[in-house]
Amino acid sequence: MNSLLKVSHLQTAFDTDQGKVVSVDDVSFELKAGETLAIVGESGSGKSVTALSIMRLLGKSSRIDHGTVVLDGTNLLALDESRMRDVRGNQISMIFQEPMTSLNPVFTIGYQLMEAIRLHVKLGKKEAREAAIEMLRKVGLPRPEQIMKSYPFALSGGMRQRVMIAMALACKPKVLIADEPTTALDVTVQAQIMRLMKELCEEAGTAIILITHDLGVVAEMADRVLVMYAGQVVEEADVYTLFEKPMHPYTRGLLQSVPSLDPDDDAKLASIPGSVPARYQFMNGCRFHNRCPLATEHCREVTPVLEPKVEGHLARCWEVGPENMREGEVVYE
């Protein structure tokens, strides 16, 4: 199956008082129609900036230095802003991390939802209103006619998140980017929203890029997983392989930090020492070497490349491979 979205060698930088800071460095991946790709990693790994780069919603102090983002044969980075506005919300949509700040507080829910529909689908006011009410009903909101008249502050966090999903999927986009769509929601609402996204996307054939740090959500939703660290992809595999036989020490650390459901397991959770470096583009060698229990002098001096260790399983590490990373091996204490 041909790729619906292909991101190649994407590099995004920010101009700061301390000089140029590269936030996304040589990121490449492909997404097929109907597929769910999860991007995971700690805060500061470059996940959200990758998504905003694809949508071209970066601020004035940022720029995409090189790379391509090809959606269904069209390079989005080569479009002018007018044409890009036609793509956003129509062919590719995004659910932002915090729905309260994503919705305009001075306009009603109905106005904002109808605006997106009328802009891209070219419906009349009456037809757009009916379509908006139907979308609110699809996302499980009660009394959708009343919610159309409400302002964002009158809705709970879970209801606002459902409105954002309705807005993102109203025009049946080819790709949906969901940036931490369940942040600050209780677990019951989280499960409902993730199930709802999956059902609506299956109905429309939409592919999903799911950005999250919740590995439970990844296990439930994803087909493939991209692990990012310090602006780079450090591992890529299908979700089953990643959870059963992770290769990169960083991925193993993330998985070992997940609490066990076994009531008899009272072992202390593993943790990765240190934090993501702030200015990692000038680091020599592997960017994870100062936190990695397997690091050697070679790791500190020579930069590893993202390469297949086995078919369909890529990792950016000198020290791991199918021959020397046994299942269940303890990396972190």
Residue matched to tokens 């102090």? 61
Question: Any idea where the domains of the chain sit in the sequence?
Answer: 3-222, 245-315
Residue 44 tokens read as 């500061």
pLDDT of residue 288: 94
CB count in 10 Å sphere of residue 159 = 21
Neighbouring C-beta atoms of residue 240, cutoff 10 Å: 13
**Integer Cα distance of 158 and 161 in angstroms:** 5
Q: Is 300 exposed, middle or buried (0-12, 13-18, 19+ CB in 10 A)?
A: middle
Which CA distances in Å does 84 have to 55, 57, 71, 77? 8, 10, 12, 9
CATH fold of 3-222 reads Rossmann fold (3.40.50)
- Is pTM beyond 0.85? Reply is yes
Backbone torsions φ then ψ of 102, nearest 5 degrees: -85, -25
The one-digit pLDDT tens for each residue of the chain (333 residues) are: 578 999 999 999 998 887 888 999 999 999 999 999 999 999 889 999 999 999 999 988 899 999 999 999 999 999 999 999 999 988 999 988 776 678 899 999 999 999 989 988 878 899 999 999 999 998 889 999 999 999 999 998 888 888 988 898 888 899 999 998 877 667 777 777 788 888 878 888 899 999 998 888 899 899 999 999 999 999 999 999 999 999 999 999 999 888 777 666 677 778 888 888 877 777 889 999 999 998 999 999 999 999 999 899 999 999 887 665 544 455 665
Across the strands, what pairs with 48?
none
Q: Which pairing describes strands 62-71 and 74-75: parallel, antiparallel, or unpaired?
A: antiparallel
- SS3 track for the chain: CCEEEEEEEEEEEEEECCEEEEEEEEEEEEEECCCEEEEECCCCCCHHHHHHHHHCCCCCCEEEEEEEEEECCEEHHHCCHHHHHHHECCCEEEECCCHHHHCCCCCCHHHHHHHHHHHHHCCCHHHHHHHHHHHHHHCCCCCHHHHHCCCHHHCCHHHHHHHHHHHHHCCCCCEEEEECCCCCCCHHHHHHHHHHHHHHHHHHCCEEEEECCCHHHHHHHCCEEEEEECCEEEEEEEHHHHHHCCCCHHHHHHHHCCCCCCCCCCCCCCCCCCCCCCCHHHCCCCCCHHHCCCCCHHHHHCCCCCEEEECCEEECCCCCCCCCCCCCCCCCC
- Identity (one letter) of the amino acid at 93? S
Report the relative pairing of strands 36-40 and 207-211 from DSSP bridges: parallel
320, 246, 316: which is closest to 285 by C-alpha?
316
> What six digits make up the tokens of 10?
């994407």
